[in-house]
Amino acid sequence: MRTENQRAWFFVLPVLALVAFNALVPMMTVVNYSVQETFGNNQFFWEGLGWFEQILRSDRFQAALGRQFLFTFMILIIEVPLGIIVALSMPRKGFWVPVCLVLMALPMLIPWNVVGSMWNIFTLPKIGLLGYFLNDVLGINYDMTQQPLSAWITVIVMDVWHWTSLVVLLCYAGLVSIPDAYYQAAKIDGASPWSVFRYIQLPKMKTVLTIAILLRFMDSFNIYTEPFVLTGGGPGNSTTLLSIDLVKIALGQFDLGPAAAMSLIYFAITLLVSWLFYTLMTKDDAE
């Protein structure tokens, strides 16, 4: 005789409450804003999907989205190969292992706004070490506060400096887990260094690399603090990424409806691309 009851559900309640207050309720508030219009005084009017249509059609949103994709694409295409190369050239054993690991972890331990400030001071023309060196010693006309290209390069280099370590550490973890026998067998089989990379190291790094790419995609796609502190989205709108634009609309102009609609679109894109990445990178395993 088996007795059944539904009491087990009570165990889920605390988690449900927690998730409700830190995710579901704020999220639903945003959904609520996104379909309404307000002129203040807490008076709301039904707007339907109007804001979504307006945002998707606006040049401003499309430009920011384009910049966002360009930024994420650039940092992925630099950080992933660079991270793999650095991880491959790190020592596997001996005195230098902890030294390298600590050096690698350092940039990630610095708070994001501090990173932005550091790079701001570092790259300011005349005052900053790099700005001074480039302009007055090498004679290169560099000013990230005035030139869009300089600003872009600076933002990308800053992100590479800050986050390549993450890719390195994850890849390194994958590499050290490869038993020596694999390298020995490859030697006996007469494999070239490229074959060793292609058939041993890369496959063994695949899982961690998938995680690294996903994390770097999501983080860079939602990046706000560092470029905001460094360039404030300028010069002009040239480094105004999606999150910076979103904050401008929501808190600068206090356009709650359009900002809410934009948040939801932003969220949907991040989710969709992450899912695509994950599905594409893990589809081989399913076979």
Partner 1 sequence: MAQIKLSNLRHSYMPSPKGREDYALKEIDVTWRDGGAYALLGPSGCGKSTLLNIISGLLTPSEGQILFDDRDVTTLPPDQRNIAQVFQFPVIYDTMTVGENLAFPLKNRGVNASTIKRRVDEIAEMLDVTDMLGTKASGLSPDNKQKISMGRGLVRDDVNAVMFDEPLTVIDPHLKWKLRSKLKELHQRVKATMIYVTHDQTEALTFADEVVVMQDGEVVQIGTPVELFERPQHTFVGHFIGSPGMNVLPCEAIGDRAVFEGHEVALEGPTKGDGGRTDLGIRPEYVGFGDTGIPAHVTKVSDIGRHYVVSAMVGNIALKAVTEHSVPEPGSQVFLQFKPEQSRVYRDGWIATEERAQ
Considering the rule CB under 8 A, would residue 58 count as an interface residue with partner 1?
no
Q: Which of 89, 126, 138, 287 binds partner 1 (CB under 8 A)?
A: 287
Shortest Cβ 185–partner 1 spacing (Å): 4
Q: Which is nearer to partner 1, 203 or 252 (CB)?
A: 203
CA-to-CA separations, 34 to 19, 168, 174, 236, in angstroms, rounded: 21, 40, 44, 28
Task: Identify which of 48, 91, 84 has the alpha carbon closest to the alpha carbon of residue 201.
Answer: 84
Indicate the burial class of 150 (C-beta count within 10 angstroms; 0-12, 13-18, 19 or more).
buried
> Under the phi-then-psi rule, with left for phi > 0, alpha for psi from -120 to 50, and beta for the rest, what region is 165?
alpha
Q: Which is nearer to partner 1, 197 or 224 (CB)?
A: 197
Considering the rule CB under 8 A, would residue 179 count as an interface residue with partner 1?
yes
Q: Which of 44, 69, 161, 182 binds partner 1 (CB under 8 A)?
A: 182
Q: Which is nearer to partner 1, 127 or 185 (CB)?
A: 185
Q: Which is nearer to partner 1, 199 or 278 (CB)?
A: 199
Considering the rule CB under 8 A, would residue 184 count as an interface residue with partner 1?
yes
Indicate the burial class of 80 (C-beta count within 10 angstroms; 0-12, 13-18, 19 or more).
middle
Shortest Cβ 263–partner 1 spacing (Å): 41
Beta-carbon contacts of residue 200 (< 8 Å; ≥ 6 apart): 178, 182, 183, 186, 191
**Which region among 34-42, 84-92, 143-151, 179-187 touches partner 1 (by CB under 8 A)?**
179-187
What's at 167, amino acid-wise? V
Please list every residue from 188 through 247 that binds partner 1, using CB under 8 A: 188-192, 195, 199-200, 203-204
Considering the rule CB under 8 A, would residue 8 count as an interface residue with partner 1?
no
Tokens matching residue 286: 């399913």
Per DSSP, 147 falls in state: -
In the complex, the residues that contact partner 1 under the rule CB under 8 A are 179, 181-182, 184-185, 187-192, 195, 199-200, 203-204, 287
